[in-house]
């Protein structure tokens, strides 16, 4: 199976925050941002694999700054790491002041997607080729996160069995 570059599947989406997306403080609901994150990440994973994919996990995430009604939300998704059937997609979320253009980092999310074949089973995916220094760095970090994630999964399973 042919390996692919990070650029081939990157996704960029810009949204505007509507009043219906906000809480009584006039800032966006975290759940709305998570939904947008899951969608851009899924598109990125499907572009990379050209397969159906499912979200296997979403790592814990922190919101560093609120996003107000009328602001733009910029979501950038890319494949950080590939396993045999799963891949980590990183999504960076930024807010943009609509009048000044000031950009603030709101959150970074790491999601694991698994490619699924026609029988509903995990299936092999193309490997990612990190080309730039930044892509290489993200690849190495994602590899460590994957190890940690799978260890946590094992520990949780053991806890529920006991």
Q: Which of 43, 56, 61, 141 binds ligand COA (CB under 6 A)?
A: 56
Is the separation of the CB atoms in 98 and 69 below 8 Å?
no
Q: What is the C-alpha to C-alpha distance for residues 100 and 72, in angstroms, rounded to an integer?
A: 11
Q: Is 145 in the site for ligand COA (CB under 6 A)?
A: no
Q: Which of 137, 144, 153, 154 binds ligand COA (CB under 6 A)?
A: 153
Q: Is 7 left (phi over 0), alpha (psi -120 to 50) or beta?
A: alpha
Q: What is the C-alpha to C-alpha distance for residues 54 and 59, in angstroms, rounded to an integer?
A: 15
Q: Is 114 in the site for ligand COA (CB under 6 A)?
A: yes
Stretch that binds ligand COA, among 45-53, 126-134, 137-145, 148-156 (CB under 6 A): 148-156
Residues near ligand COA (CB under 6 A) are 54-57, 83-86, 112, 114, 122, 149-150, 153
């Amino acid at each position: 199976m042919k390996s692919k570059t990070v650029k081939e599947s990157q996704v960029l989406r810009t949204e505007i925050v509507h009043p219906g997306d906000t809480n009584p403080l006039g800032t966006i609901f975290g759940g709305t941002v998570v939904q947008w994150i899951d969608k851009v990440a899924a598109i990125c994973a499907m572009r990379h694999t050209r397969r159906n994919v499912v979200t296997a996990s979403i790592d814990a995430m922190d919101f560093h700054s609120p996003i107000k009604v009328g602001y733009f939300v910029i979501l950038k998704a890319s494949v950080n790491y590939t396993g045999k059937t799963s891949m980590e997609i990183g999504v960076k979320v930024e807010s943009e002041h609509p009048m000044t253009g000031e950009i603030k980092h709101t959150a970074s999310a790491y999601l694991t997607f698994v490619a699924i074949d026609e029988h509903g089973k995990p299936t092999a995916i193309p490997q990612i080729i990190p080309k730039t220094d930044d892509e290489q760095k993200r690849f190495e970090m994602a590899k460590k996160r994957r190890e940690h994630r799978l260890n946590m999964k094992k520990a949780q399973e053991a806890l529920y069995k006991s």
